[in-house]
Amino acid sequence: MNQAHHTHDTHHSDLLHAGWQYIEKNSLEQFSPQDWQILQSQRDTYMREQQARQALRMLADSEHDSTFGYRVNNYRHSLQSATLALRDGLDEEDIVVCLFHDIGFITCPNSHGEFAAALLGNYVSERNRWMLKLHAIFQDAHARHHPSADLRARDRWLGHPHFEWAATFVERYDQAAIDPAYECAPLSHFEPLVMRV
């Protein structure tokens, strides 16, 4: 019994802060009201301090990934998108959205817009949530020789209050952000913006 407990202890993940407590139960069914209270108080601080860092790490982990044909990988595309927005004087939220708009492009290719909208949804405006969800459809307007592109797919949203932003985003900061010669700002430049947003 002691040996099993010792082995279990060696597999504990580190707590973020000294003074925090592990909930020493092996299923949620065993948690007491006090356990949930402890967990929630630690969770609030953890999320506040770690969410942006871990999102940045998700992107940073793709820095050296290969590409299937674009001349830049998704990491470089994301940096280029954010750098273009930065140099155009967009606000911090828009720059961060540019940085993360394709965060799910490889792992969730058919729903990567929804992935980005879910990741950023609690921290950005409805304008950006809407654009993130639909930007892949808006991109069809720029892919006239793609065999399955619907060049007029975005037209069903003509007149929507966020249509122009989505069209501008895709034209300026997405479909044209694949230039390997473009000098991007490093990811570290965007970290303070991500933390603030």
Angle 140-111-155 from CA coordinates, rounded to 5°: 35
Per-residue model confidence as pLDDT tens digits over 54-69: 999 999 999 999 999 9
Q: What pLDDT, on a 0 to 100 scale, did the predictor assign at position 150?
A: 87
Task: Give pTM, 2 decimals.
Answer: 0.88
Closest to 55 in 3D by CA, of 191, 148, 164: 191
Residue 90: phi, psi to the nearest 5?
A: -65, 160
Per-residue model confidence as pLDDT tens digits over 90-121: 999 999 999 999 999 999 999 999 999 999 99
Which residues fall within 8 angstroms of residue 137, CB to CB, at 6 or more apart? 150, 153, 154
Other Cβ atoms closer than 10 A to 146: 11
What is the rounded CA–CA span in Å between residue 105 and residue 114?
A: 10
